Amino acid sequence: MVTKIQRRNKIKARIRGRVSGTAQRPRMTVFRSNKQIYVQLVDDLAGKTLAATSSKGIAEGNKTEIAAKVGAEIARKALEAGITEVVFDRNGYLFHGRVKSLADAARNGGLKF
């Protein structure tokens, strides 16, 4: 029997086989826990995190609204760092709910996927 975690890890490995970030077009990776959501811009060639933000400290709104605020914040940080294009890595999560809200807010903030 395959558990939810094993299924997600299998999807995650498949995605990471195709998606890689560079300095010009970093990988935007999302991690969501039950309470928080985290996002990083990663340059896989150099092995560096270029920008990161999370929902810690954001208290108002439901989880989807908080994820949208995190998406807007990462877009702002990316534009300050001179990054306009990213490769989206949903990290094995389905593209709906909090992950979709974060991605849409990042797009509206000026990032191109």
Higher pLDDT pick, 102 / 1: 102
pLDDT of residue 93: 93
Classify residue 113: in a domain, yes or no. Answer: no
pLDDT of residue 59: 84
- Starting at the edge strand that comes first in sequence, how are the strands of the sheet with 27-32 ordered? 48-54, 37-43, 27-32, 87-89
**Residue 51: inside a domain:** yes
Structural domains in the chain (count): 1
Q: Is the pLDDT of residue 39 over 90?
A: yes
Q: What does the pLDDT look like over 44-100, one tens digit per residue? A: 999 999 999 999 988 889 999 999 999 999 999 999 999 999 999 999 999 999 999
Residue 35 domain-assigned? yes
Q: Give the pLDDT confidence score for residue 25 in this predicted structure.
A: 94
Q: What is the band of 30 on the pLDDT scale with cuts at 50, 70, 90?
A: very high
Q: Which domain holds residue 33?
A: 4-108
Residue owning tokens 């890689």: 20
In the chain the beta strands, taken as DSSP E runs, fall at: 27-32, 37-43, 48-54, 87-89
What CATH number did the domain enclosing 41 receive?
Answer: 3.30.420.100
Q: Is the pLDDT of residue 112 over 90?
A: yes
